[in-house]
Amino acid sequence: MHVSAILAAGGRGSRFGGQTPKQLLALAGRSVLARSVDAFLTCDVIDEVVVALPTELLAAPPEYLSSVRKPLHLVEGGSRRRDSVANAFAVVASRADVVVIHDAARPLVSAQLIERTVDAARRSGAAIAALRANDTVKQVDADQRVVATLPREQIYLAQTPQAFRTSVLAQALTLEGDATDEAALAERAGHRVDVVEGDVRNIKITTADDLVIAERLFHSSPGAPTLRIGNGYDLHRLVGGRKLVLGGVHIPFDRGLDGHSDADVVCHAVTDAILGACGAGDIGRHFPDTDQAWKDADSIDLLVRAASVVRERGFAVVNVDVVVIAQQPKLAPHAAAMAARVSAALGIESSQVSIKGKTNEGVDSMGTGQSIAAHAVALVTRV
């Protein structure tokens, strides 16, 4: 059975407020969107993922949306939720048997919830995750007056994921009019929609308070993430006839760093830090200077490869902090460019990378302008 997942992330989050779309806000060190996408990329029953994004985000998507685990496609979201879903459904694999739809603003969804929703849809045609109402439910009129008390044993609060046989969803999306979820369209088309037990932790982030609650739930989970710290260090001599490359940025100077590769001490220190954090050795183990394949190699490329190793081991980089020790040249004007290149290589936001320069006050080879060194600290989390 081939299962495709659609993540609806095309909204602007107007109810949340602020300039940043809520799907890009940080939850325990990673964006809400990244955590939602990872939930489906790591779920065994999902074969491909399609993400509907706002136009401006689609033009410059975050690096973490370049999946190395499963096929991942990006499409433009629409003005309505159903338009975003329709755009995503148009690129779903033709062999898909079941399509599962999830709101990207629910980043705490579990693999177990995804699996039981998909399994129910495979059997009945359509299924949604939902929670039984625990409180007494009142129906009110436009003047906020109670007109009826509804039997709460018949009331369920719908969540996502919602899953459908491909044929059911295809027919539902042809119906006119809007709906708050795809299950409503399937109901309108006359299809049976089953309910599976939802998860109280699978909250939807709509307001700032929801984000605070999600953060607490995330850290209190029995499967709370493993955090690991790695350290990295590198030093190279300055010599004539070489370009100076730091953090993947060519910095004008009369000398460059001597080494087997481009001798980028920033990238090398970060590479050692992230590899060490997840117990994957160091740069010499993966890219030995005895191997001609790495002669004059671009260290940004080596960092990209190291980041892939980190992901393969089930970890994600939370943040990186780098100190570059150089008497000359002045590095402050280049710090933002270096952070941008390093963050892109790691697949994280530039705000998660800090690079700063220090002199060595005339002491040792760094202080006398004979060498440049870098220290890096990386925090990774198991995903």
Interval 323-346: pLDDT, tens: 999 999 999 999 999 999 999 999
220, 255, 282: which is the final residue of a domain?
Answer: 220
Domain identity same for 193 and 232: no
Domain identity same for 184 and 231: no
Question: Where does the chain show beta strands of DSSP type E?
Answer: 3-8, 26-27, 30-31, 48-53, 72-76, 98-103, 126-132, 137-140, 146-150, 156-165, 194-197, 227-239, 245-246, 249-250, 256-257, 315-325, 353-358, 371-382
The letter for the amino acid at 46 is I
Residue 326 pLDDT:
95
pTM of the entire structure?
Answer: 0.64
Q: In which domain, by residue range, is 71 found?
A: 3-220
Beta bridge partners of 150: 137
pLDDT > 80? residue 219 = no
Residue 179 pLDDT:
86
Other C-beta atoms closer than 10 Å to the C-beta of 202 total: 21
pLDDT > 70? residue 67 = no
Residue pair 164/99 in contact by the 8 Å Cβ criterion: yes
Domain identity same for 216 and 231: no
Question: For residue 198, what are its two tokens?
Answer: 């939802």
Residue 215's CATH number:
3.90.550.10
Domain identity same for 281 and 197: no
170, 198, 220: which is the final residue of a domain?
Answer: 220
Residue 298's CATH number:
3.30.1330.50
Domain identity same for 255 and 362: yes
Domain identity same for 157 and 282: no
- d(C-alpha 47, C-alpha 52), whole Å: 17
158, 185, 220: which is the final residue of a domain?
Answer: 220
Tell me the percentage of the chain whose pLDDT exceeds 90.
71
Interval 9-18: pLDDT, tens: 987 655 555 5
pLDDT > 60? residue 212 = yes
Question: For residue 100, what are its two tokens?
Answer: 């599962």
Q: What is the DSSP letter of 341?
A: H
Residue pair 310/332 in contact by the 8 Å Cβ criterion: no
Over residues 47-62, mean pLDDT: 92
Interval 176-199: pLDDT, tens: 888 889 999 999 999 999 999 999
In the three-class reduction of DSSP (H, G, I as helix; E, B as strand; rest coil), residue 148 is classed as strand
- Cis bond leading into 329, ω under 30°? yes
Residue 64 pLDDT:
81
* Average pLDDT taken over every residue of the chain: 91
Domain identity same for 142 and 247: no
- d(C-alpha 163, C-alpha 129), whole Å: 9
Domain identity same for 215 and 236: no
Domain count, the chain: 2
Interval 236-267: pLDDT, tens: 999 999 999 999 999 999 999 999 889 999 99
Domain identity same for 203 and 303: no
Match 């995330």 to its residue by tokens. Answer: 218
Residue 218 pLDDT:
80
Domain identity same for 31 and 103: yes
Interval 262-278: pLDDT, tens: 999 999 999 999 999 99
Burial 98-111 (b: 16+ CB within 10 A, else e): bbbbbbbbbbbbee
Domain identity same for 140 and 250: no
Domain identity same for 136 and 249: no
Work out whether the CA dihedral 66, 70, 74, 79 comes out positive or negative.
Answer: negative
Confidence tier at 139 by pLDDT (50, 70, 90): very high
Residue 176 pLDDT:
86
Confidence tier at 69 by pLDDT (50, 70, 90): confident
